[in-house]
Structure 1
Amino acid sequence: MSTHLRRHHSDIDIGGSKVPSSIQGTQSRVVDFTKPLPGSQPNLHDVIKSKLPAASSRAGAITNSIGVFIALDMRPYSVVENVGFRRLVNTLEPRYQIPSRTHFTNTVMPKLYENTKREVLKRIESASSVAITTDGWTSRATESYVTITAHFVSEEWQMENPVLQTRPLHESHTGTNLANVLTSALTEWKIDRFGNIAISTDNASNIVSAVKQSPSLNPHIRCFAHTINLASQRAMQVSQMARILGRVRRVVSFFHRSSHAASVLRTKQLLLELPCHTLIQDVSTRWNSSYDMLERYLEQQAAIFATLTVKDVRKNVDSLVTLSDEDVGCVEDATRVLKPLKTITTIMCSEKTPTVSLILPLKELILKAMAVVESDSVLIKSVKAAITKDLKDRYTDPDVNQFLQEATALDPRFRSLPYHDETGRLQVFTGLTVKAVACASKLKTEVRVKVEPDEPLHAEPESPPLPALPSVSDTDREGKSESGPESHAPDEPYKKKIKTAMEEIFGEVFITHVQAARPLSACVENEIQRYKTEDCIPLTANPLEWWKGNECRFPNLALLVRHYLGVPATSVPSERVFSTAGDIVSGQRASLSPDNVDVLVFLKKTSS
């Protein structure tokens, strides 16, 4: 390069080289080769070293992804200031500058919330019917919140369960204040346009009062899981059962308090080849935790007894009383009776398949299982009687019962209504017919059905009849007459009708008749009669999948299905938010503002 410059560009001083004497009097240019020439492209080093503009698409995408990371992984806003996180981002993209924590709090997360809310509103708008659930909880900061979730069947026949809001309630939790919260939420999320909106809640008196003060919330479905919990709690309060539970609780509490006893228990489990499970401490307000405690005690009773016989363990627990053989037998019988209730509670907590249609069949199943037999012990008879007494009067309100009966009939797993006689089935399907006609009338005033007539239909008198399709023999005779003398009478002028190619080929073979408009009620009744003759699908099948494949066969009933089967049987979806919110409003984030709690819970549950 230097040789080329000396030979052809002698006026350039390349530094350290001698300028020829022939041009010493002229002006020379000094070039610094460490800097780019004017108008030239930047080198690779400068491109890598430069920072991404904050308004660039790549910087915006990274910032948005960090916001999604904060929401989905329930990270605090301060994570963007952590040294380890900043180093990770710098390694992945050295040119990116992480915005401040305040920027994420005031700009990024609210924008994510608004975009996601817009999508949820669009999905709700496309739904034909929406139901809601609600429940309340208190955070670590003793802040009271009310969560509302929506439920509907999408156009693709999928269950949708978006969390709408988790808002603070600073006033007293009276029925009136809760009613105001529900009414405001229905308006904000544009759900009030659906008219009657089904709601599922627990049996608390304040929420029951709130629903009664909201005319648009109907029907009111009491949480079936909570109902089972109340009935089972009655069973746990039977005197003999309460005494046994008290003894088991004291044993379990001892092992939870004593690290030495817990260590010996693990050793005994290994020696006896038992599962290395810890003992379960129950929560008095949740019957299934009491069931789990008893079941675990039965599983580990050999290891528990062996541990309590160790001198070092036993010396400080002389007052601890274990279960006798008779008590163990009673616990085994009680867990056997209560096991179906535990299984039913698990089934009813599903959010992917319809559950409201299961309430009445499962209620009948429980009542049948709680029937007393001669071989039952005194304890089991008392347990069964307590459950039956609490459960038999549930869901007997006429409007709620009718809604549940019709929901069960629209579930292809239970369309035969096996717990009904023929008169009861007729009443249920008659009610469905009336509702299907009313629902379809909003969309269309009449249904015109194109059918093949059973008998040839005659045309109107003023219209000439269509010619019959000639048979093979007629065609042969026609061919013979064409070659013979004139076959027409002299006084009948022969007029040959000119046919198109399609008419010549098909004739009347594909002629159909459009009957006069059939009454909508007749169409619905026909659908219901055909639906009743269908075979029930397996209990493990998803009824929404069946309706997705048969919507075209039962279009009027399909309109009702989205209204009925989209209603949840429990308020579990709202209660599940409490666990998520508890992780968000942790001890380190107890000062999180209610608005940020609402944003983070909404993004976490909706974007998951």
Structure 2
Amino acid sequence: SRAETREAQPSSKMAVVWQYFKVSEKDQRFAVCNTCSVEISRGGSVRKSFNTTNLIGHLRSRHEAVYGDYLQADQKRKNEAAKEAQTPVKAQTSIDTAFEKAKQLPPDSTKAKQITNKVMEFIALDDQPFSVVEDVGFRSLMKFMEPRYTLPSRRHFAEVCLPEIHNIVATHIHELLACDIAAISFTTDIWSSDVSPVSMLSLTAQWINKDFNLVKAVLHSQEFAGTHSASAISEAFEKMFQTWKIDKTRVHAVVRDNAKNMKKAMMDSGLASFGCMAHTLQLAIHDGVFSQRSLTDIVSICRKIVGHFKHSPLAYSRLQAVQIQLGMKPKRLQQDVSTRWNSTFYMMESLLEQKRALATYAADYDLPATLTAHQWQLIENFITLLSPFEQLTREVSSSEASAADVLPSVTALRRLLSKQADTDHGVKTTKTSLLEAINRRFDQIQYDPMFCIATYLDPRYKDRYFDEDVKQRAREILEAHQLADAGAEDVTRDGERAHHTERKRQRSDRTGPSLYDVFEEILEENGSERTSTSSVSQQLGIFLSEITIPRGESALCYWRNNHLRFPELAQIARKYLSAPCTSVESERLFSSVSHVLDEKRNRLCCDKAEMLIFVNKNMHLIKK
């Protein structure tokens, strides 16, 4: 019927190709070519399956001129459709948003304030100078990100934004310090800048909160002008504690260096303090090892060799070519710092690793000094001797290390240095001197209640590293904390014996003495075949009778999971385990200070520098 034919006839808007075809009146499944009157299948038997593919193919293969006209008409139709689709969008944009896009954000608008705060965070967290907001690239980036935003001046960020964000962070830390804190431990140090005439005094705090998480905060890195006398340091501490409303009764310990002025300042302030373990190790190793003439000569030669390559790009490129020729990975030699014994250790280690490359280099080029075969052997023996000290220095310098690590570490070092080894050849005298230096520098450590109680309440160590008299003294100190008396019960230690047997088997699989082996050996000697009954406290008896946890596990995690079993012990542990064993936190702080007071900001005043460092180090507390 005619109605069916009209229904089968496609709209011209749907396909341009129908300008050259019409639907067959005999059968709507076919189309008739207007040029040659040939019937072409529409590609199906029902309407929903019809298409124009066969029609277009017919024009392309049979009527090239007509096909060219079709392509032009089809492209014109596509262009018109695109314009029709874009017109409503353009009209909507011009009416609703064009004016808003051209309008600048008011400086006091929420959006502008949020962007300004983020820029200030960027400056503080990434150690950027305030002048970054005047850099062409940064301004271009901000313009691209938000064209309506007007970037404030560097002075606005320094005078307005920085104090605002500093106050926000300081308020949060005040709130944290006002919480239920058993005790607070501190580290402190004094630093002098290389690029400006500035000295700064640091004060970092850390404590264990009620959830047994270690919380750290930087309280001060303030300018410390004038003489660094004990009285001046003591006065500065009084002011810093007043600023943060910290009563001295809440101060557990202050970790400092071993300088006499710092020791006296802590005594004058009535603050319990002890020397940084890493610094004390530095002094002991210097006394026992680097004071030896044979090693000082070797260190001097090593510094000349490393300095030769450090100051000559040509020499380094030649060494690099030798390394590649020998199939070695190109690697720079490490320069040492005289105040860091482990940097000298790393320097000798890097030279020993490049021994073959240096020998090949010396055959073709000049070196300012060379090492003999005997000296190379001494270097290897010294590295073996000092490896446990390097290993221990890394451990005690970690952010999780506490005062509980000191006594066990010293006990293990003494045991290790007392043993004979095949690598002692040429270093026996040095080894003996090193043991004497360790004994002298740490002679009173086992009598210090701060270290004894911390070790006693660390589930990795407990009382396994004490002599009997020290154990008794530690018990008496704990008893002074008024632990509840309770009937004691015998607790067998079959599990501990089995655990130590497995530890012993694992040690036997390794060759050569290790500091870790000595730790396990002491635990085994003082822990096996022992039952514990305590007349002082049932809590203490059960705690000591249970197996020690592995040294790689967290003491705070243990107390988080067991504080309900040992409530009184847990509260004492919160106090004594809060103290770090080194002042590394303050030293790391001054590394950040050197990034702030650099060549690009050598005129930055100290109060601005302190606020930048304060925000940089404490922002994570707000982010949490």
Shorter chain as normaliser: what TM range? 0.7 to 0.9
Tell me which of 170, 187, 196 is aligned to 2:242: 187
**After superposition, where does 1:137-152 map in structure 2 within 5 Å?**
137-139=191-193, 140-152=195-207
State the partner residue of 1:204: 259
- The 3 A distance-change label for structure 1 pair 301 and 369 is same
CA distance in structure 2 between the partners assigned to 1:421 and 1:134 by the alignment: 32
**Shift in Å, 1:194:** 3.3
Match of 1:335 in 2: 383
Aligned 1:493-512 pairs, distance under 5 A: none
User: How far apart in 1 are the matches of 2:440 and 2:481?
Assistant: 26
- The equivalent position to 1:404 in structure 2, one of 451, 466, 483, is 451
Say if 2:321 is the partner of 1:267. Answer: yes
Please give the secondary structure, in 2, of the residue aligned with 1:392: helix
Q: Is the 8 A contact 1:395 1:401 kept in 2?
A: no
Relative to structure 1, the CA distance from residue 588 to residue 196 in structure 2 (aligned partners, 3 Å threshold; closer, same or farther) is: closer
Aligned match for 2:429, one of 363, 382, 392: 382
- Paired with 2:217 and 2:590, the residues of 1 have a C-alpha distance of 15
Q: CA deviation at 1:395?
A: 4.3
Is the CA contact 1:71–1:600 (under 8 Å) kept in the aligned structure 2?
A: yes
Distance in 2 (CA, whole Å) between partners of 1:121 and 1:400 is 35
TM-score normalised by L of structure 1: 0.75
Is residue 67 from structure 1 mapped to residue 120 from structure 2 by the alignment?
A: yes
In the other structure, the counterpart of 2:210 is: 155
Contact 2:290 2:296 in 1 (8 A): yes
Q: How does 1:184-583 map to 2 (within 5 A)?
A: 184-192=239-247, 194-215=249-270, 217-218=271-272, 220-234=273-287, 235-310=289-364, 313-314=365-366, 317=367, 320-351=368-399, 353-371=400-418, 373=420, 377=424, 379-397=426-444, 401-415=448-462, 417-437=463-483, 525-583=537-595
Give the AA of the match of 2:357.
A
Residue number in structure 2 paired with 1:177: 232
CA distance in 2, matches of 1:547, 1:192: 26
Q: More helix by proportion, 1 or 2? A: 2
Give the counterpart letter for 1:431 in structure 2: I
Instruction: Tell me how far 1:545 sits from its aligned partner.
Output: 0.5
Identity of aligned residues (%): 29
Q: Tell me, which stretches of 5 or more residues in structure 1 are unaligned?
A: 1-40, 438-445, 450-521
Are the structure 2 counterparts of residues 582 and 79 from structure 1 closer, same or farther at C-alpha, using a change threshold of 3 Å? same
Distance 1:400 1:111, change over 3 A: farther
SS in 2 for 1:582: helix
The one-letter code sitting in structure 2 at the alignment partner of 1:341 is: F
C-alpha distance after superposition, 1:165-186 (max 9, x if no partner): 1111111011110111112111
The letter of the residue matching 2:377 is G
TM-score under structure 2 length normalisation: 0.73
Instruction: Provide the rounded CA distance (Å) in 2 between the counterparts of 1:158 and 1:337.
Output: 36
Task: Give the distance between the partners of 1:287 and 1:134, measured in 2 at CA.
Answer: 21
- Report how far residue 448 of structure 1 moved: 13
Segments of 4+ in structure 1 off by > 6 A? 446-449
Deviation for aligned residue 1:377: 4.8
The offset of 1:87, in angstroms, is 1.5
Any conservation in 1 of the 2:486–2:537 contact (CA below 8 Å)? no
CA positional deviation for 1:122: 1.3
| Counterpart residue type for residue 569 of structure 1 | C
Q: Secondary structure at the match of 2:298?
A: helix
Q: In 2, distance between residues paired with 1:69 and 1:262?
A: 38
Whether the aligned pair in 2 keeps the contact of 1:229 and 1:286 (CA below 8 Å) is yes
Aligned mates of 1:208, 1:400 — CA distance in 2 = 18
Q: Residue 397 of structure 1: CA displacement?
A: 4.3
2:167 corresponds to which residue?
Answer: 114
For structure 1, which segment, 205-214 or 564-573, has the greater mean C-alpha deviation from structure 2 after superposition?
A: 205-214
Contact 1:130 1:191 in 2 (8 A): no
> Shift of the alpha carbon at 1:422?
4.0
Cα separation, 1, equivalents of 2:322 and 2:445: 57
Letter in 2 for 1:426: Q
Structure 2 unaligned regions, length at least 5: 1-93, 488-533
Q: Map of 1:22-101 to 2, 5 A cutoff?
A: 43-101=96-154
* Rounded Cα–Cα distance in structure 2 between residues aligned with 1:121 and 1:134: 19
Which amino acid in the other structure matches residue 331 of structure 1? I
Residue 378 of structure 1, CA deviation: 6.5
Root-mean-square deviation (CA), in Å? 2.3
Matches of 2:419 and 2:346, distance apart in 1 = 24
Distance 1:82 1:384 in 2: 57
Q: How far apart are 1:230 and its partner, in Å?
A: 0.9
Residue 321 of structure 1 deviates from its aligned partner by 3.2
Distance in 2 of aligned mates of 1:250 and 1:44: 70
Query: Are the aligned partners of 1:72 and 1:604 in contact in 2 as well (CA < 8 Å)?
Result: yes
